[in-house]
Amino acid sequence: MAVSKNPDSRLWSVKKHFYLRKHCKFPMKKNGFFFTTIAIAFSIVLLISYNVYAGYRLNDKMQSVETRIGTMNGFIKDLENDAENAIFIAGFRSLLSIEDYMMKYDDFISNLGTNLNSAFDESFIYGAINSEKMSLMQNNTFLNWTNKMEEQAAKIDISLELTVNSVEIMQSSPWTVDVSVNLKIDATDKKNTASWVRNRVFTKTINITGFVDPLYLVNNDGKVNNTIRKTTVNPSSSTANLQTHMANSYYIGHTDAPSYLMRFENNLNPSAYGIESLVNTEELKDAGFNPNTRSAVDYIYYGTAVTSDCRVEGFQPYPFFRLDYLPEPPNHLEAYGAECLGHGDDD
């Protein structure tokens, strides 16, 4: 077909168009396929690049979360380890504070408008007894410790709230008491990457050796106190050992006696964790007291129970020293392997 090459011819333009469509189809398909392939490849590259980038971002985020969780776990672990130390310090000082309070008012804690558990709780957390601040507790309360932990947490972007649910003190053996704190720990990372909430009971044991016996503290007007010390001898093995035991007012475990904690409230009933000493009446005499002519066993001597007692063979240098004897326990004359002076005379 002959096509006019006159550029001014409009007919030529139309015919050229149909001519190209009829005779030049293959080259246009080839070019289209080529560009399509390039577009697909480019799209794949973009998709892979985005996925890789997104993967790196996700991985970085996961590592960041893991780091924060690790930081929080480490902090909480240190907090839990330190909690027992804080309980020991606050508990130890609280017992001393109650002794000081009783000495100041010269009475048992149960006669001073509170009781042992309430006084210990108030002193332990707030450093006061009956709202009266105790000097030994200044900057040493458990509340001081929780505030300090919350401040330390804030420095590493952890929002920490410590709540004391309860505090309990109990006798755990004749020579130890346990202080238990039920504590709620609520920790949240300030970026909200992790949170940690838990209620846990922490318990710390305090040895009572070296504390003042409340029975002596109140009944002797603070003039003749007696610190709790385990006996270094077997008092029932010989008269000499019994004299050493009595002269130092050492303590032994005895289930007919009250425990250390019971003595704060002048509760003289028997306890499985009971302890007892023998009152050195000569020491009381030297301090200006008129010794009682009754059994030297502390909770009997300072109590009101009616007993039969006698002076003890071999204790002539201690004319006021006596031990009780009864057909049924407590029979301390028999328990300490002693005999009545003059074969049972009460003189």
| Phi, psi at 292, each rounded to 5° | -75, 145
CA gap 329, 327 in Å, rounded: 7
Question: In the chain, helix, strand, coil percent, each to 5?
Answer: 45, 20, 35
For residue 244, what are the CA distances in angstroms to 97, 217, 293, 318, 319?
31, 22, 20, 12, 16
Which of 250, 278, 170, 263 has the alpha carbon at shortest distance from 217? 263
Digit-coded pLDDT (tens) for 205-229: 999 999 999 999 999 998 999 999 9
| Phi, psi at 13, each rounded to 5° | -65, -45
Task: Indicate whether 16 pLDDT > 70.
Answer: no
Question: Could you tell me if 298 and 215 are in contact, meaning their C-beta atoms sit under 8 angstroms apart?
Answer: yes
Q: pTM of the entire structure?
A: 0.79
Q: Which residues of 77-111 are buried (b: 16+ CB within 10 A; e: fewer)?
A: eebeeebeebbebbbbbbbbbbbbbbbebeebbee
Digit-coded pLDDT (tens) for 226-265: 999 999 999 999 999 999 999 999 999 999 999 999 999 9
Digit-coded pLDDT (tens) for 91-132: 999 999 999 999 999 999 999 999 999 999 999 999 999 999
Across all residues in the chain, what is the average pLDDT?
A: 85
CA gap 66, 251 in Å, rounded: 55
Digit-coded pLDDT (tens) for 69-89: 777 788 888 899 899 999 999
Strands 309-311 and 322-324: antiparallel
CA gap 17, 31 in Å, rounded: 18
